[in-house]
Structure 1
Amino acid sequence: MSDLDSVQASLHPAVRTLLAFAGSGYHTVLSLKFPYQKRPLPQPGTGPMVAELARIDRVLDAVLDKVGILVIDNEPFLETRDLDRAALLNPFYQAVTAHVIAERTKRYGSDCRTHLYLGALNRLHDPAWRTPAVDGWLDHVRNSPEIDGVDIHPHVASIEQAKTFTDYVLPRIRPDQRFLATEFSLVHWWKQHWCDPVPAGYADRYHVPATTPTWQEVRDAAAHPVPRQQWHDLLMNSPWFTSHQDYLTTQVQQFRATGRLTVPTYGSVQGPAMTRDIGPKKTPWLLNSLYANRTARPSPDGRMAHNPAFYDDFRTLQDSPNGP
């Protein structure tokens, strides 16, 4: 949201791209991101709150009745200072939600095509993150008839951990409310094996020292992309990776089994931040992506390399949106 101090909302790259897709008939989800990790959250009735609501109005001018779903925030409990979560977070988001609802009603009555969700909750597999503030946030969702549901981000180490998100959230909102999963991954499982040595067969084939940690080989590939077969061999000869190659299908099936999933969205490309400063403590987000656009070379005809485990399953899931 702070980007809107320097660029018109409709010209913001993310908004402009999403509106182009919406105009072409695609279903779209836009999340509003409020970065307050280093400054206090504004409170209702203050100058900073007035300024934030003005930014929101500029977004609403551009996207209401155009995007399918507007998520009010990205990750509030991660993008807020620790000392603000207990007392300041809920008043801020309640004020923002009330403002968005009022503006949608004023502009479109009950006929607006844009649905509203609150999002997104993180780390609910950890009991320390199931706090009174989180429960208060979910109470607000449940008591707001204009809100269609919540967003969750289960970045976890196992399918079982992901299930704790829906087990915790769904009983705390209304039965008619649903959930999004606009981010989800096994990134913390990858992180547990980030320092494992590369597979022995890979080391022999590509003349890499057998003691080379996986993160180092990935770092080198990010600096100098490798042939797509080499990237495939690195991952598909690693038991910790291949043992979870059905993850995407299994996770989406788990979401759908609740009967209350609206849409899951999965990370598509490797971004610049994912390949910056790769080392043993780096969270390996780039192993999630459907495309290996920064670690593997494109094909001669320019097509990006795929994630060797998830890409085909992703395509199959697209063909069966109402499947199990």
Structure 2
Amino acid sequence: MGNGFGGNSTGTSERPALSRRRILGMSGVAGLAVLGAAACSDDSGSGKSKDAESGKQGKGSEESKKAKEGSRVTPPPPVGILGANFNGDPAKVTFDELEGVSATWLRGFFPMRDADKGAISEKPQIKKLLEAKERGYGTVLSLKFPYNEQDIPTPGTDAWKTAFERVKKVLPTIMDRVDILVIGNEPFLETRKNQRDRRLNLFYEKIAQYIIAYRAEHSARKTKLYMGALNHLDWANGQTGATKRWMKFVKKTKDIEGVDIHPHVTSLAGAKKYLDYILPRMRPEQKFLATEFSLVLLWKQHQTDPVSAQFAKKYKDAQGKQVWEVLREATEHRFTQQKWDDFLSMTPWFEDNKTYLQDQLEQFRKTERLAVATYGVSQDEAMTTNFTAKKNPWMLNSLYCPYTVRQGKGGLPGRNRVWIDQFRALQKTD
């Protein structure tokens, strides 16, 4: 959904047995070489220069050196995990940053239309996850099928054939290499409104059946399969015949481990509506993912509030401004860490929800059905460019804040201390 915990539509992936598994089905760096996925020469693999992506000459090669020297993490099994999420843009996420928040699981999504040209192993999202796997991280990959600007494929059409050819091209690189594969990113947001019906269900069911058959044929059962992700289940019109059929398919399909949800909400009560909907509609042994989640819709409700009197008193340049104007100023002239900290702590509606990350994970974990939840690692450019009162303030969700906070000591970006402290505290070590 949105960037940060979320895609850009509304978003926001969260170890002993797992870390001893195969490394990409082979061993060590040799395995990556065979796959044509040698350790990244830069953080993104997006085709931009090293300096453009990271701002640090040679950072990627240094990270590759660490990987070759055996720098590894040991992920807990996927039981109640909080991991990190880069969505579709791994460019700003470094392994130093992941280490800085003690993350052991990493999630991203791959837009399937990008499979049309070039080696799959060199696509930046997949390349990042393969390197993460090489380093020992648990990995979650969501396959994104964007059909907002064209009809969702139907059987017999060229678009249908193209969609399956893309899946066929991607699977050899990822199966038995990523730990969790999510079939779909946000189907009910990434299709046209008038096609979020049985046509959507049929397309994703057939894609899932194809992947299940491929996995069986290639004995690739180390990769677990989920269907995802459902959005807006807390909205009056969010629960439909198509979402009901989606859950029926999840329940009846034995090779599907469960469902993914993206609760970008205004309150914990909103997130609970997601759980109340999905849990009774799955088999008892099935679990759920929450690869994006946040209070971004609550933040958005306060965009046009006056900035707090306390903050305006301390920072004279904020006097007379609304919240969104202060956020825009931060994107244009990055704040010091202290000023960003003050803005958050002196903003009542943020301060009142400062334990959100802890509270949300507790809600998920209490169900005893959470596999992996993942939270946004870093702000990206799309969140902060030409910011207005109408844009979702994803920037308030991220752990690292390179677009609104000046770089601190130690070479890491500025940060949201509220979320980073909670993220570390919520990591499982068993």
- Partners of 1:94 and 1:226 in 2: CA distance: 47
Query: Could you say which residue in structure 1 is the equivalent of 2:416?
Result: 307
Aligned counterparts, 1:269-308, within 5 A? 269-308=378-417
Pick from 130, 138, 143 the counterpart of residue 32 of structure 1. 143
- Opposite residue 237 of structure 1, the aligned amino acid is M
- Opposite residue 145 of structure 2, the aligned amino acid is F
Query: Could you say which residue in structure 1 is the equivalent of 2:337?
Result: 228
Pick from 221, 229, 232 the counterpart of residue 112 of structure 1. 221
Q: Deviations over 1:124-147 (max 9, x none)?
A: 001311000110111111110000
- Partners of 1:311 and 1:124 in 2: CA distance: 28
- Opposite residue 228 of structure 2, the aligned amino acid is G
Query: Could you say which residue in structure 1 is the equivalent of 2:188?
Result: 77
Query: Could you say which residue in structure 2 is the equivalent of 1:4?
Result: 115
Q: Deviations over 1:268-288 (max 9, x none)?
A: 100111002211111111111
Query: Could you say which residue in structure 1 is the equivalent of 2:359?
Result: 250
| TM-score, with length taken from structure 1 | 0.96
Q: CA shift at 1:205, angstroms?
A: 1.7
Deviates more, 1:200-209 or 1:112-121: 200-209
Contact 1:180–1:264 under 8 Å retained in 2: yes
Query: Could you say which residue in structure 2 is the equivalent of 1:206?
Result: 315
- Partners of 1:25 and 1:43 in 2: CA distance: 39
Aligned counterparts, 1:142-181, within 5 A? 142-181=251-290
- Pairwise CA RMSD: 1.2
- Opposite residue 193 of structure 2, the aligned amino acid is D
Q: Deviations over 1:162-181 (max 9, x none)?
A: 00001101101111110000
Contact 2:187–2:228 under 8 Å retained in 1: yes
Query: Could you say which residue in structure 2 is the equivalent of 1:192?
Result: 301
- Partners of 1:300 and 1:176 in 2: CA distance: 46
Q: Secondary structure at the match of 2:218?
A: helix
Higher normalized contact order (CA 8 Å, seq sep 6+, divided by chain length): 2
- Partners of 1:153 and 1:69 in 2: CA distance: 16
Query: Could you say which residue in structure 2 is the equivalent of 1:56?
Result: 167
Aligned counterparts, 1:36-47, within 5 A? 36-47=147-158
Q: Secondary structure at the match of 2:288?
A: strand
Pick from 292, 296, 301 the counterpart of residue 183 of structure 1. 292
Pick from 220, 230, 233 the counterpart of residue 124 of structure 1. 233
Q: Secondary structure at the match of 1:101?
A: helix
- Opposite residue 328 of structure 2, the aligned amino acid is R
> Number of aligned pairs?
319
Query: Could you say which residue in structure 2 is the equivalent of 1:103?
Result: 214
Query: Could you say which residue in structure 2 is the equivalent of 1:15?
Result: 126
Deviates more, 1:92-101 or 1:35-44: 35-44
Query: Could you say which residue in structure 1 is the equivalent of 2:201?
Result: 90
Q: Deviations over 1:29-78 (max 9, x none)?
A: 00000000111111233322121111111211110000000000100000
Q: CA shift at 1:9, angstroms?
A: 1.1
Q: Secondary structure at the match of 2:317?
A: coil
Contact 2:379–2:395 under 8 Å retained in 1: yes
Q: Secondary structure at the match of 2:372?
A: strand
Q: Deviations over 1:5-43 (max 9, x none)?
A: 123211100000001111221100000000001111112
- Opposite residue 377 of structure 2, the aligned amino acid is S
- Partners of 2:164 and 2:171 in 1: CA distance: 10
Q: Any runs of at least 4 consecutive aligned residues in structure 1 with deviations exceeding 3 A, and if so which?
A: none
Contact 1:242–1:309 under 8 Å retained in 2: no
Q: Deviations over 1:173-199 (max 9, x none)?
A: 111110000000000110111111112
Q: Structure 1 pair 209/93, CA: closer, same or farther in 2 (3 Å)? A: closer
Q: CA shift at 1:321, angstroms?
A: 6.0
Contact 1:196–1:213 under 8 Å retained in 2: yes
Q: In structure 1, list runs of 5 or more residues that go unmatched.
A: none
- Opposite residue 29 of structure 1, the aligned amino acid is V
| TM-score, with length taken from structure 2 | 0.73
Q: Secondary structure at the match of 1:88?
A: helix
Contact 2:318–2:326 under 8 Å retained in 1: no
Q: Structure 1 pair 44/237, CA: closer, same or farther in 2 (3 Å)? A: same
